[in-house]
């Protein structure tokens, strides 16, 4: 698992309970997974296809710093699957874990398009 992004929790990221708003976190995760996919599939034409069960394990509060991690799971013909973990940077306490996020390579008509990569290609990439 590589932790790519860090976020400082600010007032605009809070819910009515004054803890991190789940929607804000999901937006960051979707964006991070999208960038991860673009680097792995070497294309910016990718879309979110599927996000498995989302387990909010603990919360975060204003002033906390969180880090978002992604781990490669598998690739198919047009898709890539990754795992996600978000944790508190300082306490290392897990905030959310998602077993399966699937992104799909699409063509100009937004139809699924083979990415033409093998698992060896993906593993060779450092980013």
Ligand X SMILES: CC(C)(COP(=O)(O)OP(=O)(O)OC[C@H]1O[C@@H](n2cnc3c(N)ncnc32)[C@H](O)[C@@H]1OP(=O)(O)O)[C@@H](O)C(=O)NCCC(=O)NCCS
Residue among 87 and 113 whose Cβ is closer to ligand X: 113
Interacting residue with ligand X among 70, 98, 102, 117 (CB under 6 A)? 102
Residue matched to tokens 């708003």: 21
Tell me which residues in 44-73 interact with ligand X (CB under 6 A): 47-50
> Which residues make beta-bridge pairs with 124?
none
111 part of the interface to ligand X, by CB under 6 A? yes
Establish if 27 lies at the interface with ligand X (CB under 6 A): no
Least CB distance from residue 90 to ligand X, whole Å? 32
Query: Nearest residue to ligand X, using CB?
Result: 76
- Name the residues that contact ligand X, by CB under 6 A: 47-50, 76-79, 102, 104, 106, 110-112
């Amino acid at each position: 698992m590589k932790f790519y992004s860090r976020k400082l929790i600010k007032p605009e990221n809070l819910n009515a309970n004054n803890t991190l708003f789940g929607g804000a976190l999901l937006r960051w995760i979707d964006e991070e997974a999208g960038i991860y996919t673009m680097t792995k599939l070497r294309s910016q034409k990718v879309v979110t296809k599927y996000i498995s069960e989302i387990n909010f394990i603990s919360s975060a509060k204003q002033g906390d710093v969180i880090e978002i991690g992604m781990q490669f799971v598998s690739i198919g013909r047009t898709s890539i699957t990754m795992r996600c973990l978000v944790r508190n940077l300082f306490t290392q306490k897990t905030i959310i874990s998602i077993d399966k996020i699937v992104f799909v390579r699409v063509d100009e008509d937004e139809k699924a398009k083979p990415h033409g990569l093998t698992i060896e290609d993906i593993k060779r990439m450092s980013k």
